[in-house]
A and B are shown apart, each in its own frame.
Chain A
């Protein structure tokens, strides 16, 4: 649980320190005032980077050269003080209780957070790389060897593709060297495939249950992991695609081409789903992600719901809120532009506190 958060030079937020308790934190304010940035600061501290894909440099307040986000968390019985400092030209450091990590990857998994924002709709409608990113980000949070396998795999793939592009004439290609890369890729490729397969088995159960709960049994959603790796052993796969690789001058088979297919009533949802269905898929995926992380890390993630009512009809929102109330999240942060809609979220057992964000200034809102 996040007990205290302080931000200096983070996006448009005014430098300040906030205290948070248990329960649901309802954050109002017009668009562009900084509500999302408050949620992102929390996410940033837990996962060492922004939920959004603008580069690190863009997270520093305009006209400043560095940023600092610090937080005090209670993890089980322990207190963890985490401080993140970013100087875009020099790099990023994260300190845990005063001592800096040698590698930022070591911080991943200590604090878990799940954020759901309108931009996440890309998970449902974007290309397969969006969903591979989802797989990678989730599995990396509980499996360090996965992150290492992924880094080796990506590096080797780049080298292999550079080799394929190094000559115009297929006959000049050094096939011994190509085979050398295949031999090196085998181990990380298998690790990534097995880890993704096992993860999707867990994810599938939670995703389907959560989708049903939010949609109110209106339709059935599904998720399938598709990988050419399941067809045949890796060496056979690579040899089978070798001619194609040589002609097209890139690598055509392997985990970098995997897909996490999302379905509604057994149809691929990119073709015909409604906005409400797409958003429900995203919510169910993220909440399922939270459940899997909880099962692996034995830590309840902080739930960050940005612009909650985006694309959702009121009945789905009510289903979602009762669902979240039952999931046992210790801390939930919700943003919305309408104070009345935020107020409507108070009905459940969660202790509620209200905030208002105006021009980057966050204040507790006691009028509501």
Chain B
């Protein structure tokens, strides 16, 4: 691509650094912005900058939030004694989309995979343990982690760590087919698998 403007070239380079955006789309987006009134771009850029600055992780559940406590944790209507453990924020959104879950969440930020350099210490696990520890009434834990080998390791590990507090632990029913990510499951399957959750057997002698 030949650019008559260095500024345009820079903008195209920035757009195409985004995932899934090629050089052609980047050029289309940049040219589009040039055709809009200046205020449009101003607002657009401010929205992005504010988002980056203001969005943080909830101190309790590690969901994305505009303050120390996210709207789900702050909602008095939510059942405090039910915690759904998920890998990432997109899974929170997928489950929220169903409208059938009224408990709280805990976002781990991944699954245990030493091959990828992710050990338990790299996940938000301590936060989960202290939530269970400090709760007045031991909460029920729903493990809604992808049913992969690494997901299963994470489930087993969490349940072993929570053993001293003897919580009721369940996993989501495997309506979600093996190997498929939770976030790709359709809403109906998802809400069914949460309501038909299965008790999680944690007994093993290792």
Contacts and interface: CB of A to CB of B under 8 A. Distances in A.
Given A174-B119, A176-B157, A156 B149 contact: yes
Interface of A: 152, 155-156, 158-159, 162-163, 165-166, 174, 176-184, 186, 235, 238-239
Contacts of B156: 180, 183-184
Given A174-B120, A177-B120, A183 B112 contact: no
Given A166-B119, A177-B120, A183 B113 contact: no
Interface in B128-158: 149-150, 152-153, 156-157
Contacts of B115: 158-159, 162
B18 to A, nearest CB: 26
A166 B121 CA distance: 12
Nearest to B154: A180
Contacts of A152: 149
B114 interface: yes
Contacts, number: 52
A348 to B, nearest CB: 51
B80 to A, nearest CB: 27
Given A159-B113, A174-B120, A181 B153 contact: yes
A235 B204 CA distance: 9
Interface string B15-46: 00000000000000000000000000000000
Contact of A179 (B112, B117, B149, B204): B204
A180 B206 contact: yes
Interface of B: 112-115, 117, 119-120, 149-150, 152-153, 156-157, 160-161, 204-206
B114 A180 contact: no
Nearest to B117: A166
B168 to A, nearest CB: 20
A177 B152 contact: no
A239 B206 contact: yes
Given A159-B149, A166-B117, A181-B153, 4 more contacts: A155-B149, A177-B119, A180-B157, A180-B160
